Structure 1
Amino acid sequence: MTQPAQPERTHIPELQLVRALAILGVLTVHASATATITMKESAYYYFYNFINTVMRFGTPTFILLSSFVLFYSYYSRPLNGKLIAGFYKKRLLYILIPYVVFSAIYFAYVKDLTGVPIWSLESIGEFLSKLLMGEVYAHLYFVFISIQFYLLFPIVLWAAKRWKNLALWFVPLGFVLQWTFVLLNLHYWQLPNKGSWAPTYFSLFFLGATLGIYYPKIKGWLAMTRDNLNVGRAVLWLMVWGAWIGASAAHVTVWYNARLYGTNYPAELYEILWNAQSVLAALVLLHSAFFIYRHLPAGLSAMLYRLGQLSFGIYLVHLLYQAWFERLLPAPTSASALHLYYLASWAIMLAASWLTVSLISRFVPFAWILFGKVPAAQKLQRSGAKAPVPAGKRTVAG
């Protein structure tokens, strides 16, 4: 592969569909998590273990996608102080502030449940400590990871622009750095919150960077149509899909045996299977999004597109609705009723979060403080057609 060309970087609507699929994965994992404990005596336990394991592509895909968009958007632009200042201003306003606000909301909710005073010096110190480590609530570690990547991004971007062929080595470099960290942690450091540190996801970050930099040259490999389909591309994607199915099946089996029978496996096996499944799943979702964009009925594609636009806000708020649901409606004792209970939890998280982010972002001033920059709803643009852009709004870059 030669040095990447630098044409004008245009909007990629398919990326919103990837975001939609990723957030559905996140909701499914959280809705099924309790079932992997409570349903062990059920004949449906394999199903719950299956969906809980296979659907773990949400957070890894968001990391790859964030890296993709950053490098796609910034690689062809002059790297100077103005660019870096603008980059960090946007992340401060639309990522860091919502993170702090929702960290405070979740912290206050937990303290209210336990009856512990929120404004005591001890509670404030606890909040600040957890805030700095992304540990205020279960899912907020993802934003903490993203912040680490934002700090790293200008350095990696500078290196990619300084040495033009360096991006060709980003994928192997990401795996080497990640596995150096993983093995050191397994055998020496043993960090209790290893998954909250950026090196855990370097393979995804650097793969996303490569895809973003070279996207104009590799677009035809992602968006396969009758016009650009050939044997090489078909074989490649059959291998990717086959490898993802194989890695996912092995990962499901390992977790099933460990959860149900207490089987002990080496920690390295969990790491290998998770890494393989997450990287391959992110690629499969990218490939699927390009197919969905062209072939799914327009109404369903438009719904997924809007879900992708709202995904960051939904990610932040959805566990509040799950917590309220479980608090107001305790789990039933009947095994058959539990299936409906877990399905209802998933549906309420999705519907209530979607409605909340949509209404607040549209009607409440300064809604970005809660949910970041939410694009205005607009008609999904299909290939060969121009979508109208609401007045005063510009199309978001992926």
Structure 2
Amino acid sequence: MHINFLKQLESIVEESDEDAQPKPSKIQKREFTVVDPWSDSTMSNLLTKISGGLKKLTGYHKSNKIYSGKVPLTSSHNALKNKDVELGGRKYHIKGSPGTGAFAKLYKASVDGNTEEIVALKVQKPAFPWEFYMYRQLDTRISDIQRPSYGYAHEVHVFADVSVLVCNFLPYGTLLDAINSHLVVGQHMDEVLCIYYTIEMLHMLETLHSVGIIHGDFKPDNMLVCYPSEEITDDTFRSETRSGQNQGLCLIDWGRGIDVNLFPAGTEFLADCGTSGFSCIEMQEERSWTYQVDTFGLCVVAHMMLHGEEMSIAKVPGTGGSYMYQPKLSFKRYWNVALWKQLFTTLLNPGSNGNHVGDLRSLRRSFQEYMCSNYQLVVKLNQLLAKQKASLCSS
């Protein structure tokens, strides 16, 4: 009897121990992956992943041979000027070079002897078809009415040694040119112009980020200046969409673009963009980031427009022992300080609610409401745009 009692007691204790064991959690932890989106290995893996679909894209032309044209595409700018480059049965007459980027050479060219048809040729060695893929993703994901704000790639020719991307060409220079056009005469861009271009940039990123695309190199020399085909009215700022009729900027150079959809959900990135003055706070502190690379770039561009120089940031005490980031330079008292303070505070100190697209939209609407609050602001904007266009076209 005593033995039976001990066995029963042992059984009770074992059952109690089993009950005490922690149950497997029904809440699955989100996978957290950190990747360098621009490393050679990542880019190689991504290009392999998309290779099948890449071949099916309209305008994609690939050859396993090296480029064998009469004029080497990697020649100096002067050597290529006034020369003809034949690609895919078309003849491109090199008229000059708008500039050279960190990763490629850029040429302005007419097509098949038609001086009215001007394109940009982007030559890259070694061959790099990724940018063409990004342009085609923009074609797919961005609505037709807003698509002109992100540039177009007509085709790409990929050889064993080099690639040539054929893009549309816009004649009015970059936002950096516009900023510098004021600095060379000892002035800064007028606040109304700064607001106009800030609205453009906010709308750009709001649209891009909502479809899982990161530009990755958001700076003023990657934004081409456009001029509306019609006079801007307050209705322009009441609209929730942008179109070619009221477009002010065109974002180009997608070689550093990131397609978030190609990575597992929850992936964050750990790498430095390598562009002086444009490394976001997370990069500076060696923390992971996602869309901050673009929103920080927007802040730098806004700062350059307002102050005529790149942004330096300060880490200042906040409430409850926290801290926050803000630009070191103060705002002029005659600016709309509340608007600018809200912009920099929001974008330099992103919340953890995961709704940064909503923040971009809210900021954009605040700037638009201000432009609608006084029609004289719109009148002044049209005058400033006309003056700037005349200045840049004559330079």
Going by fraction, where is helix more abundant, 1 or 2? 1
Fold shared, TM-score > 0.5 on shorter chain:
no
Structure possessing the higher radius of gyration over alpha carbons: 2
Query: Which of the pair has the greater relative contact order for Cα pairs under 8 Å at 6+ separation?
Result: 1
Going by fraction, where is strand more abundant, 1 or 2? 2
Q: TM-score range by the shorter chain?
A: under 0.3
